[in-house]
Amino acid sequence: MGKSKSIFRVQTSNYVPHGFGGKRGILEKYIRFSNGLFLRCSYWYNLRWNYDLEAELNPRNQSFVVTLLLIIAAVAMVVMAVQRESDTQDSLTINEIARDIKAGKVARVVIEDNNNLRVIYKDGKDGNTTDGAESYKETDSTLVNQLLALGVTPEQLSVDNVEIEVKPPSQWAGVLGGALYILPVLFMAGVLWFIFRQAQGSNNAAMSFGKSRARMFSGEHPTVTFQDVAGVEESKQELAEVVEFLKEPQKFIQLGARIPKGVLLVGPPGTGKTLLAKAVSGEAGVPFFSISGSEFVEMFVGVGASRVRDLFDQAKRHSPCIVFVDEIDAVGRQRGAGLGGSHDEREQTLNQMLVEMDGFDTDTNVIIIAATNRPDILDPALLRPGRFDRRVTLDRPDMKGREAILKVHVKGKPLEPSVDLASLARGTPGFVGADLENLVNEGAILAARRNKKSIGQPELEEAIERVVMGPERKSRLISDEEKRIIAYHEAGHAVVMNAIPEADPVQKITIVGRGQAGGLTWYRPEDDRILTSRKKMIASLAGLLGGRVAEELVFDDITSGAANDIERVTQVARMMVTRMGMSSEMGLMTYGQKEELIFLGREISEQRDYSEAIAEKIDSEVRRMVDDAYKLTKRLLTKYRDRLDAVAQKLLEVETLTREEFEAIFPPPSPKKSGTPQVIAMGT
């Protein structure tokens, strides 16, 4: 619903009637009866009225008003018909009037509106009131002639016996009389008009399938600029040229330069691709057409191509402008590889898009910006120079980028002075812009839940845990035996990770369930990394097996709690052997080619490009890596068994341990290493 509203306002003057002690009685009623249509009746005790009508009806409200008027007309017709019928039933006949005049009962007869009679009796007998009874006369003769024809003598009609008064006809009599005949005609005309509009609307809806559903945003009042986008400074620099071209196109045309016709934004979900495209439009101050790739395709053949043509026609009419296609992989996937063959609706839509992008002239000043997180499945013709010839990658932000993003999202929110955004950015590696926005929102919700007026550091730290691990499930009841098993399981993870120098430091240990897990050991790197070394991956294998090995050492039995740990260990070990070349036995080779359906976008199988003998070696090598990690884990937990017991007992007491509390029980045996391979000095 838009901001414009239709308001019927009736307001009186400031007249104060006597007898109210100078006080003004005020009564306001607001009656809402449609989208954007309000009736406001404000009436004060007064004698003067002021009518003000503001009518800005949208098409939806117009239909409502027409329907309302038809209903009013129908009700008026019914009421008038019933009233007329009741009047006819209760009125006197002309014969009864003549009889009463002969009997001397009638005092006065008033002729109204030519044919309507009001008979006033002398004594009010015979069920008639002193106000008179209603009657009608014939239209082709006078009342006196009709009474004389019925046997009334002239003496009985004299002034001394009966007073006959003739009133002039009212101005509204003809209007009301004509309304009885006009209202049915108007009612039928309104019904026919309504039916015609409905049929016309259905026809227009059927013909509008081929129209573009892109939403246009004017660039006069931008809501998003580059100041609202943080953590992607390199990407903003790439798009600054696009903004400059839209502002000063002649600067490039005079030099014979060609601005990229299309810019492809690539990055994981939540990195700000759509937000960055809106910022480009806001900076340039030009119209912005936004549409999703899935909106081009319908069940009807040719609709997608028609919508592409209509979209580009609109863009040319509003040049210079920006056309943003979100999730372009919905229509831009590689051709000839679908389940339905090489000729389907998506291909026709893609072909039309390719043709339209080639048809742009150098002076069109229309730039296409598309976003996707699957650039690997796009058609090569879409990525060639002259179409989407510039690719801007939005990666996960680093620590400085995360801090800048947090500063953007905390604007307008009350923060405590002790809030350290740099610490929050350091503790959120791998977070994208959407995750950080959710983090700040969760922190605000937690502060409101605790009846605080501002957001503090504890709320934001807890929000990180909620985003990563889910909310706590403190209400779940578990037995003391299971609680003890969970405590030793999580303590096993923490002790192993703390004992290996290349492993990430432990940040928090808890035996309070979160999500599907009964307990959690949270460890995170100190800084951002792009590369992962072999030693660090082996340390991760050992840390994942710490829970299972702790169960074996303490309880002489195992549980199902390590199922997810074993699954992750197997995946990491197999990836090290088949994808990363980290096995001396298998060498520097990649084994297996992944297959996926282009239009499904998921891996459905792995093509084995190796023999059965190689498969046995791969399985054997994966098993060896897991066994080596298991032996390392068992050796460490046996060595630090006393620390394992101490950590588990402390968890049973307090349920949750922070990094400082954990390291107070078990200080790291050796300083932590980054895990990055170091340069080996050459011998002499």
Work out the number of other CB atoms within 10 angstroms of the CB of residue 503.
Answer: 23
Place of tokens 């006393």: 642
Cα–Cα distances (Å) from 449 to 413, 414, 445, 446, in that order, read: 16, 15, 6, 5
Of 673, 666, 671, nearest to 491 by C-alpha is: 666
| Residues sharing a CB contact under 8 Å with residue 20, sequence separation 6 or more, in sequence order | 45
Annotated catalytic residue 490: yes
Distance CA 279, CA 275 (A): 6
Check residue 92 and report its DSSP letter. Answer: B
Q: Determine which one of 403, 490, 502, 621 is catalytic.
A: 490
Work out the number of other CB atoms within 10 angstroms of the CB of residue 50.
Answer: 10
What is the side-by-side order of every strand in the sheet holding 520-523? 520-523, 506-510, 656-658
Of 327, 323, 298, nearest to 312 by C-alpha is: 323
Alpha helices in 506-603 (DSSP H): 534-544, 546-555, 563-578
Q: CB of 132 within 8 A of CB of 120?
A: yes
Burial bucket for residue 192 (CB in 10 Å: 0-12, 13-18, 19+): exposed
Work out the number of other CB atoms within 10 angstroms of the CB of residue 116.
Answer: 17
Of 559, 583, 588, 562, nearest to 572 by C-alpha is: 583
Check residue 614 and report its DSSP letter. Answer: H
Secondary structure class of 521 (helix, strand, coil): strand
Work out the number of other CB atoms within 10 angstroms of the CB of residue 604.
Answer: 9
Q: Which residues are catalytic?
A: 490
